[in-house]
């Protein structure tokens, strides 16, 4: 059986879990919830990139992404940050949905799965 490694484990969850050659990154939200959607999306993607790097992966190895937006009408605006961030040669499978998010002010949450 493949080894399991937890990255930044906490009492409730880990920032990521590596199982074999797969990295599962927990849903990430912006640290500064006062930012607009573009600002929050940039923060979240920077966090994800840092976690992937720490786990021996990169955005070029993304397999899937799930994006939750507090307001689905901001889908196109979110894509103005997402599109230049992803590796254009290796776009992941992706789902984007509207959802009530955990805290007031949080406009976006993103979880990804990547290979190593």
Query: DSSP letter at 96?
Result: E
Rounded to whole angstroms, how far apart are CA atoms 54 and 33? 24
The position carrying tokens 């901001």 is 74
1-20 confidence digits (pLDDT tens): 789 999 999 999 999 999 99
Residue 1 is predicted with a pLDDT of 78
51-109 confidence digits (pLDDT tens): 999 999 999 999 999 999 999 999 999 999 999 999 999 999 999 999 999 999 999 99
Residue 2 is predicted with a pLDDT of 86
Rounded to whole angstroms, how far apart are CA atoms 61 and 53? 11
Q: Could you tell me the sign of the dihedral formed by the alpha carbons of 33, 63, 49, 20, in that order?
A: positive
Q: Are 16 and 51 in contact (CB under 8 A)?
A: yes
Over 90: is that where the pLDDT of 111 sits? yes
| DSSP H/E element including 65 | strand 62-69
| Ordered structural domains, the chain, with CATH | 25-115 (3.30.1330.40)
Rounded to whole angstroms, how far apart are CA atoms 86 and 106? 22
């Amino acid at each position: 059986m493949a080894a399991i490694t937890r990255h930044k484990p906490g009492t409730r969850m880990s920032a990521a879990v590596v199982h074999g050659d797969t990295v599962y990154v927990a849903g990430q939200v912006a640290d500064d919830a006062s930012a607009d959607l573009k600002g929050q999306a940039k923060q979240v993607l920077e966090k994800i990139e840092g976690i992937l790097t720490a786990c021996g992966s990169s955005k070029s190895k993304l397999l899937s992404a799930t994006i939750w937006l507090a307001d689905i009408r901001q889908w196109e605006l979110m894509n103005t940050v997402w599109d230049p961030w992803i590796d254009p040669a290796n776009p992941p499978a992706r789902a984007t949905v509207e959802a009530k998010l955990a805290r007031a002010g949080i406009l976006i949450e993103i979880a990804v799965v990547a290979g190593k």
